[in-house]
Chain A
């Protein structure tokens, strides 16, 4: 167990696991209940990483896994995150953005793909101890990216006392944020509805998400 690759545990600075109120280090993570299962699968995970990091163009499989993983994380169907007709194509912008900024992205995709976690994903990810590792916080950054079109750096999210400094990654990312559809409305400043629609109830939530 002591030989777990650093990649899956996260290489960020040591922090405090707020939930358990203890400093979290590689060692405390390893003592978690799921650590044994983690160890059983790391061989596959580890060998995937160098290849992933070296690629300049997204491979179809990685991209498809990104969409499926995003659907599980956000609660929004994959067919809506990746519609058949999608000239706006914010999904590729997100994929490229994350890949360029987060070394843990490959680890997270690998975790998602690994047989023992995939079935119960994302619960398997957000159960201690992985929940507060680098891939756990990256997963939350990815949820916020889809919802708000803004990048919340995982290193800022993990410190609950810190006020994050988000960056809206593009104008179209803001207008494609899923929070607006979850709230049964349109992005502020980007209505495609007609005069007076606000008098009536919106269509049911199911029409949006």
Chain B
């Protein structure tokens, strides 16, 4: 190793996703020299390179526009990542080694700009009680031990939320969002007005007016008489021109890629930071070990650089800085920390005196339900952003959280696009059914093959009546849900692949059951016919639960919201970083991203992790580099 010849800069950041990008921008604008080590490929000069890959992909999955090839063998890929076809696959074919008992169903990207290239853009704030679950809702001894308070509260983040909303460019209306204790500084307004609701949202809203307190008794809401509403979801998606980017044209493609960059992605921030001249991004550079010096501080990061997605040549090097920021995600960051054994001096990994690195892995288990509106009542899906409206104000918080997980409801504008499996989802799947006499969609008669005008009319009738609801359920932290290093499976660089142990607590399962019952109720009030399938026995992401005396098998998916594996806290014995996201063990090491979340709450995590990163950038500038 070239220990004496390490490159030098003020701050090294590992990862160029939304957290790394925002950190780099804040530091570079203050004239600090910053190097980002990015494991994946460079952002193409023209987004159409990605669009072309997306258009040509037969499987329009979140990863389909991006490199490396989603179906490539993870043993050969230099910087691999989990992809949709790998969910439920055997270990050898899966980047993540699934150790069960349930499968972990979320994926991510390792590429310039990170997973937020394919994010939806949802930018909800947490509600104040999300920061103090134990002190507000712990009522009895069977309270899940992992459900703890955060070391900071809503008010400490309020102004940082505002800054994050400015950086990401969030469209929303304050009056819609001031619920469940969410408060804004006087005179605050979002950067752009809220995104208009869709016809699907309107159909859901109409059904909600038919809810009676008796209908929703099972939810144990604090005020069952309050009326239910659909609100425009705050989104980092332009409703006005912003940051030299266009207004949303409703491409219905936020995931996997917005073709006109009306949705924020980290390349916006990275380009801004690069323009300062103080940022350098080293692509295809995988951090391999965080090296700890004699004084307990990080002294350098050793890395491997590679030239192609698969195969050699590779070269090794190191980089030194005053401050180190790990901004991978809640799987890759603990993987790096656990790989960093320093010749045995940190045999259990760097920053891991608490033994919590990699533990408490969480997601938002995603309960998805789909249905057909009644004949003659089209809702015209496949139009507008993937989701424009949701139901939040009643269901995200309440005293029911003493007993079960909360959730938020996301209304889909993409019909059955990702809920019916195989051959590219819908509308392709239903089209193939009708033309060839299959019935994988379950809306068609086996062996009946349509053509001509009859095909046009039947397809129009079916596709325009599709609806999809998604429920993002809070997941409790559990020490046994963890990321470790595989001892059998390696990536193309010879580094151990992440192994995942994952399960759901009864508290979380009860939240998923409440979500399912809410979906059933909503479909009933819409006079819609549910086509949500009960998963087969042995499904890797399902569990059995009695509903009204009948054992029911319920499936859930991953939301792509990786959280918890290097959590923040106020006690070094019970957390990995403090509220500044600084390692308790190594004073010049910061771990950022949603891995610091002690609990998941119900909001998509990006806005909160962005607010935390901006806050930490201020700490670094004033305390460490000031």
A residues near B, CB below 8 A? 18-19, 72-76, 122, 126, 131, 139-140, 143-144, 147-148, 150, 152, 157, 160, 163-168, 170-172, 174-175, 179-180, 182-186, 188-202, 205, 209
Q: Which of A72, A126, A140 is the most central at the interface, judged by chain B CB atoms within 10 Å of its CB?
A: A140
Q: Please tell me if B43 contacts chain A, counting CB pairs below 8 Å.
A: no
Residue of B252, B259, B457 contacting most chain A CB atoms (<10 Å): B252
Q: Are B453 and A202 in contact (CB under 8 A)?
A: no
B454 near A75: Cβ-Cβ < 8 Å: yes
Q: Does B414 contact A (CB under 8 A)?
A: yes
Q: Indicate whether B257 reaches chain A with its CB closer than 8 angstroms.
A: yes
**Alpha-carbon distance A112/B99, docked complex (angstroms):** 57
Task: Please tell me if the beta carbons of A148 and B431 are within 8 angstroms of each other in the complex.
Answer: yes
A152 contact from B413, B432, B451, B454, Cβ within 8 A: B432
The reply to whether B55 and A175 form a contact with Cβ atoms under 8 Å apart is yes
A122 and B451 contact, CB distance less than 8 A: yes
| Complex CA distance for A183 and B460, rounded to whole angstroms | 5
Complex CA gap A199/B422 in Å reads 30
Inter-chain contacts of A163 with B (CB < 8 A): 422-423
A/B interface sample: 13 pairs, CB < 8 A: A73-B451, A74-B451, A75-B452, A126-B449, A144-B432, A160-B436, A166-B423, A168-B58, A171-B55, A183-B460, A183-B464, A189-B51, A198-B196
The reply to whether A179 and B431 form a contact with Cβ atoms under 8 Å apart is yes
A18 touching B55 by the CB < 8 A rule? no
The CA of A75 and the CA of B388, in the complex, are separated in Å by: 33
Can you list, as one digit per residue, whether each of B449-481 has a CB less than 8 Å from chain A (1) or not (0)? 101111111011001100000000000000000
Contact A150 B428 (CB under 8 A): yes
Q: Which residues of B contact A (CB under 8 A)?
A: 51-52, 54-58, 60, 196-199, 239, 247-253, 257, 259, 380-385, 388, 413-414, 417, 422-424, 427-428, 431-432, 435-438, 446-447, 449, 451-457, 459-460, 463-464
19 more CB-based (< 8 A) A-B contacts, given A157-B436, A164-B432: A122-B451, A143-B455, A147-B435, A148-B428, A166-B428, A168-B56, A180-B382, A182-B456, A182-B459, A184-B460, A186-B383, A188-B60, A188-B382, A189-B54, A189-B55, A189-B253, A195-B249, A197-B383, A198-B388
Q: A164-B423, A168-B57 are in contact. Are A191 and B380 (CB under 8 A)?
A: no
Give the residues in chain A near B428, CB-CB below 8 Å: 148, 150, 166, 179
State in angstroms the CA–CA spacing of A202 and B384 once bound together: 11
Main secondary structure of the interface of B (DSSP, over half): loop
**Which residue of B251, B259, B417, B460 is within 8 Å of A205 (Cβ)?**
B460
Taking the closest CB of chain B, its distance from the CB of A178, in whole angstroms, is 9
State whether B257 touches A189 (Cβ < 8 A): yes
Cβ 8 A contact of A195, one of B54, B57, B239, B382: B239
Nearest 4 A/B pairs, CB to CB: A198-B384, A171-B55, A189-B253, A75-B456
Instruction: Across the interface, name the chain B residue whose C-beta is closest to A125.
Output: B451
Q: Let me know if B452 and A171 touch, CB within 8 A.
A: no
Interchain CA distance A19-B435 in the complex, whole Å:
14
Q: With a CB–CB cut-off of 8 A, which chain A residues contact B388?
A: 198
- Which residues of the other chain, B, contact A172 by a CB distance below 8 angstroms? 55
B56 shortest CB reach to chain A, Å: 5
> For residue A160, which residues in chain B have a CB less than 8 angstroms away from its CB?
436-438, 446-447
Evaluate contact between A198 and B451: CB separation under 8 angstroms.
no
B576 nearest CB across to chain A (Å): 39
Min CB gap B353→A, angstroms = 47
Q: How far is the CB of A201 from chain B (nearest CB, A)?
A: 6
Q: Nearest residue in B to A152 (C-beta to C-beta)?
A: B432
Q: Within the complex, which residue of A166, A171, A202, A205 is in contact with B424, where a contact is CB–CB below 8 Å?
A: A166
A157 to chain B, nearest CB (A): 5
* With A143-B451, A198-B199 as contacts: A193 and B432 at CB distance below 8 Å: no
Candidates A75, A166, A170, A199; contact of B453 at CB < 8 Å = A75
A194's partner among B239, B249, B463 (CB-CB below 8 A) is B249
Docked complex Cα distance between A73 and B449 (Å): 12
What residues of chain B lie closer than 8 Å to A148, measured between beta carbons?
424, 428, 431-432
B55 CB contacts on chain A under 8 angstroms: 168, 170-172, 174-175, 189-190
In the bound complex, how far is the Cα of B464 from the Cα of A22, in angstroms? 37
Contact B249 A147 (CB under 8 A): no
Most interface-central of A172, A174, A191, A209 (chain B CB within 10 A): A191
Question: A205–B464 Cα gap in the complex (Å)?
Answer: 11
* Given A122-B452, A179-B427, A183-B459, A193-B380 contact (CB < 8 Å): no
- Chain A residues positioned under 8 Å from B449 (CB to CB): 126, 131, 140
User: A131 → chain B, closest Cβ, in Å?
Assistant: 7
Q: Which residues of chain B have C-beta atoms less than 8 A from A191's C-beta?
A: 249-252
B252: which of A150, A164, A188 is its contact (CB, 8 Å)? Answer: A188
Task: Tell me if B380 and A202 are in contact (CB < 8 A).
Answer: yes
Residues of A within 8 A of B436 (CB): 140, 144, 152, 157, 160
Are the CB atoms of B249 and A193 closer together than 8 Å?
A: yes
**Which of these, A152, A168, A179, A188, contacts B459 with CB under 8 Å?**
A179
Whole-angstrom distance from the CB of B472 to the nearest CB of chain A?
22
Shortest distance between the CB of B53 and any CB in chain A (Å) = 9
